[in-house]
Structure 1
Amino acid sequence: MNPALAAGLQIALVIAVLAILYVPVGDYMAKVYTTDTDLRSGDLRIETVLYRLCRINARTDQTWYGYAGSLLGFSAASVLFLYFLQRIQGVLPLSGDLSGVSPAMAFNTAASFVANTNWQSYAPETTMSNLTQPIGLAVQNFVSAAVGMAVAAALIRGFVRVSRGGEIGNFWVDLTRGCIRILLPISFVIALILLSQGVIQSFDSGFTSTGLDGNSVTNALAPVASQEAIKELGTNGGGILAANSAHPFENPTPLSNVVEIIAILLIPVALTRTFGTMVGDRKQGLTLLAVMGILWSGLLAVTLAAESGQRGVAATAAGGMMEGKEVRFGIPGTALFAVSTTGTSTGAVNAAHDSMSPLGGGAVMLNMLLGEIAPGGVGTGLYGILVLALIAVFVGGLLVGRTPEYLGKKLGQREITLAALSVLVMPALVLIGTGITVILSSTTGYQGNSGDPGTPGSIHGFSEVLYAFASASNNNGSAFGGLTVTSDWFQSSLGVCMLLGRFLPIIFVLALAGSLASQKKTAPGAGTLPTAGPMFAGLLTGTVVLVAALTFFPALALGPIAEALQ
C-alpha cells in the first residue's frame, strides 16, 4: 500500500473512533465526578463498603491543602510499598528464580510508576517477577492515572464552585471513582480486544524454543494483555516486556497498534468534553481540544515527513527511515504511535526512538517539551493546558487592556504566580539535570560505547541526555535507548526529577484550585476577554509554542537541530 494512503487511513480511523467516543465518554466522566451517588451492584454499595473499611467520610469535601496532603500521603505510601516489594520479591511466590531488585533501581522504579512515568532502566523479563508486575506495577498504573484525573477534577471545581473555605472535593472519593468507574471497565474492554489480536496473558515464567540459528532460546511470558490495556489507557507506558509495544506479545498486529493508540488518546481527549460539561460551557472544552489538535497534527506531520525521507543508501532502499522500526507497523504506524505517546506522557514505544531521523527525534522530543498537553496525560494534559490558558488570558488581557479573568474568576497576583510556578518546574528540572550530567560526565556515569554517536561530547549524545531528562521531568518514560542509565547518578537524579516533575505542579495546581474556589463568580463584561472560539485558540497555541521556544530553543539547537543540519 502507498505509505501516504496507509498513513491517511490510520490517522482517519483513530480520529473517527475518538470522535464517536468523545461525547459519551466525556459526559460519563463528568457525571462520575459530580454525582453524589455511590456505585452499587444490586443491594451492595461497592464504594460505600470501601469508604467504611478505610474510614473515609465520602460526604466531606477538603480544602486544597487537605486534598494535597491526602494525595501526597497516598503517593508516599505507594512509593514505599513498591520499593520494598521489589527488594523482597526473591522470597515471594511467582519469583521465577529472580532475586530482589537493587536499592537504586528499586527507588527509580518506585518513583517512576507512582509518578505515572514508567521509566524503565531494567529489562522486565529478567528483573521483575510475575508477582511484582501485577500487584505492584499494574496497581500503580491504575492509581497513578486516577490521581492525575482527580487533580483535573479538583481544578475544574475551582472554576465552578464558590466556597468561602475553598473546598475542591474529596481526594479519596475522586481516586476511588476514577479507578472503579472509569479506568477498570474501559481497560477490561481494551484487554479483551487485545487478547483477540494475539496479545498473551499468562503467569508462566516462559518457554523454550529453537531460534533461526539453531540455538535454544528462552521466551518470557507474563500477564501482558491486562497490563497492556491500563498501560496505554492510563498513559503509563511501562512495558511488561523489554521491547515494550514493539514486542509481538504486546502489540502483534497493525489493528492492535491502532487500538493502543486510541487507548492512549481516549481519556485525555474526552476530558476536554468533561471540562466543558462541568463548567456549563462546552465551547470552552472544544477550544482546548482545538489547541491540542493543532499541536498534535503539526508535530505528526513533521514526524511523518522526516521519517518518510530517503536520505542515505539504506533509507532509499527501504523507502524511508526504517531502521529501528517494526515492519508490521511501518513508518505511518510508528510515527502516529510516537507522536501520540510523547504527547500524552505515556512513554510506550513501538519502535526505537533513538533510531529516528534527527528531525523526527527532535519533533517527538519537542512534543514533551511543550508540556505534554497535546493532548497530555490522563488529567495532567487538561490541568496543564488550563494553567497555560490562564497565562494566555493574563498576557492577552495586558496586551489589549482586557480584564484578566477566566470563566468568571479573577486572575490576580496569587493565581498567576501559582500558574507560573507550575509551568516553570519542568524546564528547570530538564535544563539543570541535563547541564549537570553533561558538564560532569565522568562523575555522573554519562558514557557511550567507542565509536557510538551517543559518546560524550557528540551531538547525538547530548540529545540522548536532553531526551532522558525531558522524559523523566514530564513523566513520560520513553527514551533514546543508546544512553546507559544504570549508574547511581541516573537512577537517583531521574527518580528525583520524576517525583518533583509530578508532584510540585500538582501542589501548585491544587493551590490554584483552592484560590479560585474561594472567589465569587463575576459576570462577563465588555472588558472580558472571550475564551471560547478561534481567536483564543490561536492565542493559547501561540502562548504554548512561544513559552517552549524561548525556553528550549538553545538546548534543541545544540542537539537535534544541529544533528539534522549535519
Structure 2
Amino acid sequence: MNANTFLQTAMFIVVLIALAIPLGRYMSNVLDGTSVVVRKVGRPVEAMLYRIAGVDPDAEMSWKHYALAVLLFNLLGALFLYALLRLQGMLPANPQGFAGMTPDAAFNTAVSFVTNTNWQDYGGESALGYLAQMLGLTVQNFLSAATGIAVVIALIRGFKRHSAQTIGNFWVDLTRTTLYVLAPLAVVFALVFVSQGAIQNFKAYQDVPTLQATTYQTPKTDAQGNAIKDAKGNPVMQDVKADKQTLPMGPVASQEAIKMLGTNGGGFFNANSAHPYENPTPLSNFMQMLAMLIIPAALCVVFGRTVGDGRQGYAVLAAMTIAFAVACVGEISAEQAGNPVFRSQHVDTHASALQAGGNMEGKETRFGIAQSGIFTVATTSASCGAVNNMHDSLTPLGGLVPLLLIQLGEVIFGGVGSGLYGMLAFALLAVFVAGLMIGRTPEYVGKKIESFEMKMVSIVILLTPLLVLAGTSIAVLTTAGTAGIANPGAHGFSEILYAFSSAANNNGSAFAGLSVNTPFYNSMLGIAMWFGRFGSLIPVLAIAGSLAAKKRLAVTAGTLPTHGPLFVVLLLGTLLLVGALTYVPALALGPIVEHLGMIAAH
C-alpha cells in the first residue's frame, strides 16, 4: 500500500467523520422533534401526511405494537412491489415494452428491495421500465432505509427511557426520517451526480451510430426462426453490418442518490456503479462512497446525544472507524499485490508512479485499485451492495475481505439503522462477557443487562450465520444449487457462500460468476433475505421494550466504563471472536484454499 493509496483512504475517513458529526446532531434534533425544521418549516406537511394516513402522532407504541406496524407495513410493500413487477408489461412509462417478471424473479426482487438488500439477478436496463424503477424500486429504497433508522431510534429510546412501556411511534419515525433526512439529502446528491454526468431523463433508449462499422456473418433463418440450409445441409450465411449501438436512458441520478444514502445498492444498470451513466467520474465515486456511510456514521452521534453521553456514541464510532481502516488496508494491499504467477513469468503489472499496479481485472481504469478497494470495503461494511468493480474478479484475499465484512453482520458502519443496532447487540454481548470475567451484573449505558436481553442478542447474532451456513449447505448438496456454478472448485464454493452471506445479511452484492436467476436461488435467497431482516429486527425491538421498562442505574466505582479505549478494544475483540468462530471453517474451504492454490502455482 503506497503513500497515494494511504492518503486517499485517510482523506476519505477524515471527510466522512467531519460531515457525520454535524449530520448526527441535526438528525437527533429532527427525530426528537426539537429541530426548527420540524417545528416550523415541515410541520404543515407532516401534519397533512398524518391526517391522510389516519395516524395520531401523539400516540406511542409498545415494542410489540411497534414490531407489528413494521411487519405489516413492509409486508404490504412487498405485495405491492410484487404485483407491480408482475404487471409491468401492461403499465405505462415502459418505453421499451418490457414484459412482467416471472413469479420467482418478482418474489425475489420484491423481498430484496423491501428488506434493504437490493439483490439483483436481472439487468435493470434490460428488464424494468421507468414506472417499475421509480414507483417500485426507488420508493422501497426510501421506505426500507427509513424502516431501519426507525428501528434503531426505537432501540436508542430504550436506553434513554426508564420505567416506560412505550418506545415511540413507528409512523412518526418513518415520516420524519423520510421527510427531513433522506429526501433532502437525496436531492442534493442527485444534483451532484447529474453535474458529474449521470443521466436523468424519461427518453426512450437511443440508437446512435458507432465510430466504426463492423460486418460479421450469421446463419439465415426463415419466418419460424429455423436455420436455412443449402443442398449439402450447411447453413446459409448472411452478412450483417453493425453500425449502431443502443444506449439506455432513464431517471438514473435520482435513484442513484437514494440507492447510496439508504445503503440499498440496487443499480439502474446491470453494471451498477461501474457504469459511466451511474458513476461517471472519480468525484462521483468519492461522493457515492461518502453517501453510503454518512448516515450510519451519523447515527452513532445520534446514539450518544440521545442517551445523554456523547462519549458512548463516539466509542462505537471509533470501533467502526478502526475496523474500516484495517479492512481498507487489507483489501487494497491484496489487490495491489496481484497474482504472483504473473511476476514469476516476468509480466510487468506496474501502471504508473501513482498506481502500484496489481490486479486490475474487473476494475474501471478511471477509479484504479485504491478507489475500487475503498468502495469494496465501504459497500460491504455497510449493507449497501453497490459495486464499482466486479467482486468475482478480486484476488482470493481481496474477496475474503468483503465476504468477512458481510459475515460479521455488516456492523462496521453497516446499513442505515441496521448497522448500529447490530453493533449495539455486540456491545451488549461485550459487556456481558466482561461482567462474567469480573463477577458483576453487566450494565450498559445505565441499564442492567439480564437474561432476556442476552437471549434476544443471541438470536440477533446467530440467526444470520444459521441462514448463511444452512443455505450454503443445501445449495452445494443439491443439483439445482450446483447447476449455477460457472467456476468449479474453491471459487465456486466461495460464490455460493458469498450469495447466501449477502442475502441473509441484506447486502446485495455478489460474486457474479454464479447464475442465480433460477427458481431455486430466487426462492432460497428470498427466504434468507426476509428472515435475515425481520428475524433480527423483532428481537432488537424486544430489547428496546425491555430496556425502556427498566430504571436507569447510577454510575458507581464498579461500573465498567463503556466510552474509552478499553471498551473499544473489547468491542472489536468480541466482534472478531464471534465472527471467526462462526465462519472460519467455511472461509477455509473457499477463499483461503483458493489463495493457497494461487501461491502454490507460483
Query: Which TM-score band applies after superposition, normalised by the shorter structure?
Result: over 0.9
Instruction: Report the counterpart of residue 541 of structure 1 in structure 2.
Output: 572
Instruction: Report the counterpart of residue 387 of structure 1 in structure 2.
Output: 425
Alignment of 1:132-531 (within 5 A): 132-165=132-165, 167-211=166-210, 214=213, 215=242, 216-310=244-338, 311-313=340-342, 316=349, 319-440=357-478, 442-444=479-481, 446-449=483-486, 454-455=487-488, 458-531=489-562
CA distance in 1, matches of 2:473, 2:64: 34
Contact 2:93–2:131 (Cα < 8 Å) also in 1: yes
Contact 2:399–2:591 (Cα < 8 Å) also in 1: yes
Contact 2:17–2:297 (Cα < 8 Å) also in 1: no
Q: Offset at 1:312?
A: 3.2
Contact 1:459–1:563 (Cα < 8 Å) also in 2: yes
Relative to structure 1, the CA distance from residue 364 to residue 212 in structure 2 (aligned partners, 3 Å threshold; closer, same or farther) is farther
Relative to structure 1, the CA distance from residue 21 to residue 533 in structure 2 (aligned partners, 3 Å threshold; closer, same or farther) is same
Contact 2:304–2:313 (Cα < 8 Å) also in 1: yes
Q: Offset at 1:202?
A: 1.1
Counterpart residue type for residue 222 of structure 1:
G
Counterpart residue type for residue 336 of structure 2:
S
CA distance in 1, matches of 2:531, 2:480: 23
CA distance in 2, matches of 1:45, 1:160: 29
Relative to structure 1, the CA distance from residue 420 to residue 217 in structure 2 (aligned partners, 3 Å threshold; closer, same or farther) is same
SS of equivalent residue, structure 1 residue 39: helix
SS of equivalent residue, structure 1 residue 25: helix
CA distance in 2, matches of 1:282, 1:53: 37
CA distance in 2, matches of 1:41, 1:520: 34
Q: Offset at 1:527?
A: 2.2
CA distance in 2, matches of 1:250, 1:414: 46
Counterpart residue type for residue 39 of structure 1:
V
Offset from partner CA, 1:107-140 (integer Å, 9 cap, x none): 0000000000000000111111111001110000
Normalised TM-score (structure 2): 0.90
Relative to structure 1, the CA distance from residue 315 to residue 285 in structure 2 (aligned partners, 3 Å threshold; closer, same or farther) is farther
Q: Offset at 1:385?
A: 0.4
Instruction: Report the counterpart of residue 76 of structure 2 in structure 1.
Output: 77
CA distance in 1, matches of 2:187, 2:4: 29
- For structure 1, the 5+ residue unaligned runs are none
Query: Quick check: 1:28 aligned with 2:23?
Result: no
CA distance in 1, matches of 2:581, 2:13: 31
Relative to structure 1, the CA distance from residue 555 to residue 19 in structure 2 (aligned partners, 3 Å threshold; closer, same or farther) is same
Contact 1:309–1:315 (Cα < 8 Å) also in 2: no
CA distance in 2, matches of 1:448, 1:54: 47
Query: Could you say which structure has the larger radius of gyration?
Result: 2
Relative to structure 1, the CA distance from residue 428 to residue 402 in structure 2 (aligned partners, 3 Å threshold; closer, same or farther) is same
Contact 1:403–1:527 (Cα < 8 Å) also in 2: no
Identical-residue share of aligned pairs (%): 50
CA distance in 2, matches of 1:420, 1:91: 46
CA distance in 1, matches of 2:188, 2:484: 44
Q: Offset at 1:448?
A: 3.1
Contact 1:210–1:217 (Cα < 8 Å) also in 2: yes
CA distance in 2, matches of 1:302, 1:223: 36
Contact 1:206–1:219 (Cα < 8 Å) also in 2: yes
Q: Offset at 1:432?
A: 0.3
Contact 1:403–1:528 (Cα < 8 Å) also in 2: no
CA distance in 1, matches of 2:448, 2:464: 26
Contact 2:484–2:516 (Cα < 8 Å) also in 1: no
Instruction: Report the counterpart of residue 354 of structure 2 in structure 1.
Output: none
CA distance in 2, matches of 1:39, 1:22: 20
Contact 1:408–1:523 (Cα < 8 Å) also in 2: yes
CA distance in 2, matches of 1:539, 1:501: 26
Relative to structure 1, the CA distance from residue 15 to residue 317 in structure 2 (aligned partners, 3 Å threshold; closer, same or farther) is closer
Counterpart residue type for residue 289 of structure 1:
L
Contact 2:9–2:328 (Cα < 8 Å) also in 1: no
Contact 1:158–1:517 (Cα < 8 Å) also in 2: yes
Offset from partner CA, 1:49-92 (integer Å, 9 cap, x none): 11011110100110000000000000000000000001111111
Offset from partner CA, 1:349-376 (integer Å, 9 cap, x none): 0000000000000111001111101111
Offset from partner CA, 1:444-464 (integer Å, 9 cap, x none): 353334xxxx23xx1000000
Contact 2:33–2:39 (Cα < 8 Å) also in 1: no
SS of equivalent residue, structure 1 residue 316: coil
Instruction: Report the counterpart of residue 104 of structure 1 in structure 2.
Output: 104
Q: Offset at 1:164?
A: 4.1
Relative to structure 1, the CA distance from residue 315 to residue 288 in structure 2 (aligned partners, 3 Å threshold; closer, same or farther) is farther
- For structure 2, the 5+ residue unaligned runs are 214-241, 352-356, 598-602
Contact 2:30–2:38 (Cα < 8 Å) also in 1: no
CA distance in 2, matches of 1:21, 1:559: 38
Q: Offset at 1:213?
A: 5.5
Relative to structure 1, the CA distance from residue 501 to residue 315 in structure 2 (aligned partners, 3 Å threshold; closer, same or farther) is farther
Query: Quick check: 1:16 aligned with 2:9?
Result: no
Relative to structure 1, the CA distance from residue 316 to residue 148 in structure 2 (aligned partners, 3 Å threshold; closer, same or farther) is same
Counterpart residue type for residue 312 of structure 1:
V
SS of equivalent residue, structure 2 residue 556: coil
